[in-house]
């Protein structure tokens, strides 16, 4: 199979009129982009400026200076309005999804659902295959629960498994973080893929579908076999008995309950995607993204009642909201949690979510500035005749930003902004694969400038060198395997 043969080549999908107009200023605009990215790295790495502020500062600096190299760029008097409009457009959908998802994950965590899933999967797999149970636990639980939170909650269970099986805890810890990392990056409603999906204009159902199709085999390939091989090559401190906390199984929700709540919103969103695809079969070919969306919305508004019901319930906002309200009752009130405690849990969950929402919004601002200054058009001019595929370029953009500044979320948002003009004309499944390949690029090559690197180093009790030789290798393999599987999947939808 020629993996690269049917990939979309750059220039084939770009709007020719805009590219032609941007051509004279392509060189200076690319230089302006390089200046912006260099400034972003200096602000984050050297000056330790928070990513939200750094993205805003860079966006303002690039927009304000763009008229020096492109007379048609955003006027200086409209720079602030461009920032505000881009922030507002990005946050309308993303903030709602991330906020609701954060509360849902917090309720699941407080109820003991995370521990219940892990312990019952370990019981089902048995001690000999407990590493596979931890991989699957990480893969499932990272859909509603943030990676760092899940690692903190499950660290005592890792030590208990190591004590009971007489094996190094890395045998279980590395597969766990592998599973956590894959779905945290590949599968909505976690912030990264949600933001990229919004910026590229792709239905979340398609991203969930292809995120799982790519993510699950990626997790398996980068799971227990590879993790055991790596774990055997490092020596970690002995188990600290004080870190082993007994968990009362009687007070945990059942595995069936946990899986139902995690699977419910995903099933509703996927059902909506299937119905939309079925309705869209009547649309003419060759429609632009905005025109297609408008005509599809009109068809859905006049469709049968059952189609409208599925579309309503399957919208990500409604699906997550309904599931969260149900979780508050069945995992909270019905289990004896008082209303004040539930309010406190929900409020605390929005603290970390607020930071992510603002960073994501700032990423939307950066994307808006790249478009309004003509930089995205200039990128198309530079790469139009290169013969590089959209998937390769998207992965490369995300990887380079990830290696340079460490944050996977910033890498995803920046790559989505840079690739925006290259995906014109792609259908929804293709856009979903571009989203997944950006997630793959932003996951790999974790090292000392990545906060997740230090989190894993701390909770798995490894030195910096040991973390590089284990988690650094695993994250890189996740990126490469995810990228390769996306290329293969493209052959079946391209």
Mean pLDDT of 357-383: 83
324 versus 296: the higher-pLDDT residue is 324
69 versus 238: the higher-pLDDT residue is 69
CA distances from 248 to 9, 111, 172, 240, 331 (A): 56, 12, 21, 20, 16
79-110 vs 147-165: helix crossing angle, rounded to 10? 30
Mean pLDDT, the chain, whole residue set: 84
Cα distance between residue 490 and residue 2, in whole Å: 11
Cα distance between residue 285 and residue 135, in whole Å: 42
Question: What pLDDT is recorded for position 146?
Answer: 79
**Three-class SS state of 389:** strand
Mean pLDDT of 83-103: 83
Kindly indicate the confidence band of residue 277, based on its pLDDT and cuts at 50, 70 and 90.
Answer: confident
188 and 203 Cβ atoms separated by less than 8 Å = no
Question: What pLDDT is recorded for position 464?
Answer: 87
Question: What pLDDT is recorded for position 17?
Answer: 39
Question: What pLDDT is recorded for position 240?
Answer: 64
Question: What pLDDT is recorded for position 212?
Answer: 94
Residue-wise pLDDT tens digits, 15-49:
443 444 434 457 888 888 889 888 988 888 788 88
Residue-wise pLDDT tens digits, 324-354:
999 999 989 988 888 899 999 899 888 888 8
CA distances from 126 to 121, 156, 266 (A): 8, 18, 28
148 CB-contact burial (10 Å; exposed 0-12 / middle 13-18 / buried 19+):
middle
Question: What pLDDT is recorded for position 442?
Answer: 92
List helix spans (H) across 170-328: 170-186, 191-200, 204-221, 224-231, 255-279, 289-301, 305-314, 316-327
**Model confidence, pTM:** 0.85
262 and 253 Cβ atoms separated by less than 8 Å = no
Cα distance between residue 7 and residue 399, in whole Å: 19
Mean pLDDT of 68-80: 86
Pick the range with the lowest mean pLDDT from 119-123, 260-264, 482-486: 119-123
Mean pLDDT of 114-131: 85
Residue 94 has pLDDT above 50, yes or no: yes
For the chain, how big is the Rg over CA atoms in Å?
Answer: 23
Question: What pLDDT is recorded for position 108?
Answer: 87
Pick the range with the lowest mean pLDDT from 227-231, 364-368, 468-472: 364-368
388 and 422 Cβ atoms separated by less than 8 Å = no
Question: What pLDDT is recorded for position 313?
Answer: 92
Residue 2 has pLDDT above 80, yes or no: no
Altogether, the residues listed in the chain come to a count of 494
Mean pLDDT of 357-366: 84
Question: What pLDDT is recorded for position 353?
Answer: 82
Domains in the chain: boundaries: 16-493
14 versus 381: the higher-pLDDT residue is 381
250 CB-contact burial (10 Å; exposed 0-12 / middle 13-18 / buried 19+):
exposed
In this structure, the number of other CB atoms found within 10 A of the CB of residue 385 comes to 10
User: Distance between alpha carbon 225 and the CA centroid of its chain, in Å?
Assistant: 25
User: Distance between alpha carbon 50 and the CA centroid of its chain, in Å?
Assistant: 20
Residue 368 has pLDDT above 60, yes or no: yes
Pick the range with the lowest mean pLDDT from 286-295, 325-334, 393-402: 286-295
Percent of the chain whose predicted confidence (pLDDT) is above 70: 90
Kindly indicate the confidence band of residue 471, based on its pLDDT and cuts at 50, 70 and 90.
Answer: very high
Kindly indicate the confidence band of residue 247, based on its pLDDT and cuts at 50, 70 and 90.
Answer: low
Residue 232: φ, ψ to 5°: -70, -15
Cis peptide before 91 (omega within 30 of 0): no
Residue-wise pLDDT tens digits, 408-440:
888 898 899 889 888 888 888 999 999 999 999
What are the structure tokens assigned to 76, written together? Answer: 């200086």
188 and 316 Cβ atoms separated by less than 8 Å = yes
Question: What pLDDT is recorded for position 207?
Answer: 93
Which of 6, 15, 4, 1 is closest to 424 using CA atoms?
15
Question: What pLDDT is recorded for position 14?
Answer: 40
Cα distance between residue 154 and residue 173, in whole Å: 9
For the chain, counts of helices (H) and of strands (E): 23, 0
Residues near 33 by Cβ (< 8 Å), separated by ≥ 6?
62, 370, 375, 378, 379, 418
253 and 292 Cβ atoms separated by less than 8 Å = no
310 versus 150: the higher-pLDDT residue is 310
The DSSP code for 245 is -
Mean pLDDT of 350-366: 83
Mean pLDDT of 384-400: 86
Residue 336: φ, ψ to 5°: 95, 10
Which of 466, 468, 390, 396 is closest to 433 using CA atoms?
390
Taking the alpha carbons at both ends of the chain, their separation in whole angstroms is 14
Q: Select, from the ranges 236-245, 307-316, 430-439, 442-451, the one with the highest average predicted confidence (pLDDT).
A: 430-439
CA distances from 325 to 261, 332, 333 (A): 11, 10, 11
Mean pLDDT of 351-364: 83
Which of 331, 330, 311, 313 is closest to 322 using CA atoms?
313
Question: What pLDDT is recorded for position 431?
Answer: 93
Question: What pLDDT is recorded for position 383?
Answer: 78
């Amino acid at each position: 199979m020629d993996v690269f043969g049917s990939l979309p080549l750059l220039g084939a999908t770009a709007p020719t009129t805009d590219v032609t107009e941007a051509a004279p200023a392509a060189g200076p605009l690319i230089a302006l982009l390089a200046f912006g990215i260099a400034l972003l790295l200096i602000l984050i790495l050297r000056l330790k400026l928070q990513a939200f502020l750094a993205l805003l500062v860079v966006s303002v600096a690039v927009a304000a200076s763009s008229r020096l190299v492109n007379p048609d760029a955003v006027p200086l008097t409209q720079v602030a309005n461009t920032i505000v409009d881009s922030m507002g457009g990005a946050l309308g959908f993303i903030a709602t999804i991330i906020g609701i998802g954060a509360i849902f994950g917090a309720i699941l965590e407080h109820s003991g659902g995370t521990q219940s899933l892990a312990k019952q999967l370990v019981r089902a797999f048995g001690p000999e295959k407990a590493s596979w149970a931890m991989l699957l636990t990480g893969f499932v639980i990272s859909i509603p629960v943030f990676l760092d939170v899940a690692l903190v909650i499950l660290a005592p269970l890792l030590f208990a498994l190591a004590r009971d099986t007489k094996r190094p805890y890395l045998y279980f810890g590395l597969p766990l973080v592998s599973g956590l990392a894959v779905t945290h990056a590949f599968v909505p409603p976690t912030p990264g893929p949600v933001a990229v999906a919004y910026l590229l204009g792709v239905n979340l159902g398609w991203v969930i579908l292809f995120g799982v199709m790519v993510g699950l085999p990626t997790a398996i390939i980068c799971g227990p076999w590879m993790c055991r091989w790596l774990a055997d090559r490092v020596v970690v401190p002995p188990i600290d008995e004080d870190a082993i906390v007994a968990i009362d199984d009687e007070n945990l929700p059942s595995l069936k309950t946990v899986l139902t709540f995690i699977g419910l919103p995903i099933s509703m969103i996927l059902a909506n995607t299937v119905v939309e695809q079925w309705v869209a079969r009547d649309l003419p070919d060759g429609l632009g993204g905005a025109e297609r969306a408008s005509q599809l919305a009109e068809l859905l508004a006049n469709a049968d009642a059952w189609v409208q019901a599925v579309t309503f319930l399957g919208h990500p906002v409604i699906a997550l909201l309904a599931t969260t309200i149900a979780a508050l009752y069945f995992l909270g009130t019905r289990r004896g949690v008082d209303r004040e405690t539930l309010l406190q849990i929900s409020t605390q969950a929005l603290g970390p979510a607020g930071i992510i929402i603002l960073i994501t919004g700032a990423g939307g601002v950066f994307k808006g500035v790249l478009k309004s200054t003509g930089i995205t058009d200039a990128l198309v001019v530079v790469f139009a005749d290169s013969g590089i595929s959209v998937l390769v370029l998207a992965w490369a953009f995300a990887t380079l930003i990830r290696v340079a500044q460490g944050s996977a979320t910033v890498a995803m948002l920046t790559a989505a902004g840079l690739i925006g003009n290259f995906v014109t004309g792609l259908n929804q499944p293709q856009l979903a694969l571009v989203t997944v390949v950006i997630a793959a690029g932003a996951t790999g090559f974790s090292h000392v400038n990545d906060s997740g690197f230090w989190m894993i180093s701390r909770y798995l009790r490894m030195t910096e060198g040991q973390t590089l030789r284990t988690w650094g290798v695993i994250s890189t393999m996740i990126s490469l395997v995810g990228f390769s599987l996306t290329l293969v999947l493209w052959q079946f939808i391209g």
